[in-house]
Amino acid sequence: MKVETYIFFEGRCDEALDFYEKALGAKVEMRMRYSESPDPVPKPMLPPGGANKIMHASFTVGETRIMCSDGHVQREPNFQSFSLGISAADEAEARRVYGALIADGGEQRSPLQKTFFSPCFGMLRDKFGVGWMVIVDPH
């Protein structure tokens, strides 16, 4: 059994995929638009004017796969009560990743700093509102 993350970006999926490619070196595995579905999309599932929106996509960051879509583009995304954790190899990588994720409108929740459980740990929300925890595992 495996549990994987699925994120609904409510209309900003293309932008998010491009951002994570640049910020994290993510590799987009697939990107399917509603208009590319081999089966007709039921009307209630299709966002208004959304034929070109992302029906399903997936990308990898390191060894982790994340799936996503534009959802139904009917509300602002609400990414509360969870964060994605990213383990950096060292402090330099943690600072690079943290800086890239907070760029262009992200919000610092906790600055990168030494803690009792890590030589370098910080929390942020990226410009899409997705929470991230960046950590260097103690060796």
Residue reference for tokens 């410009």: 127
Q: Assign domain 5-69 to its CATH architecture.
A: 2-Layer Sandwich (3.30)
CATH class given for the domain over 84-136: alpha beta
Give the model's pLDDT for residue 48: 74
Where along the chain do its domains lie? 5-69, 84-136
The mean pLDDT values, 10 residues at a time, for the chain of 139 residues are 93 96 97 91 78 94 95 78 94 97 95 96 97 92
- Cα 102 from Cα 123, distance rounded (Å): 10
Give the model's pLDDT for residue 33: 94
Distances (CA, A) of 129 to 7, 56, 106: 11, 20, 8
pTM of the model: 0.90
Give the model's pLDDT for residue 51: 85
- Cα 38 from Cα 97, distance rounded (Å): 37
- Cα 130 from Cα 132, distance rounded (Å): 7
**Same fold for the pair 5-69 and 84-136:** yes
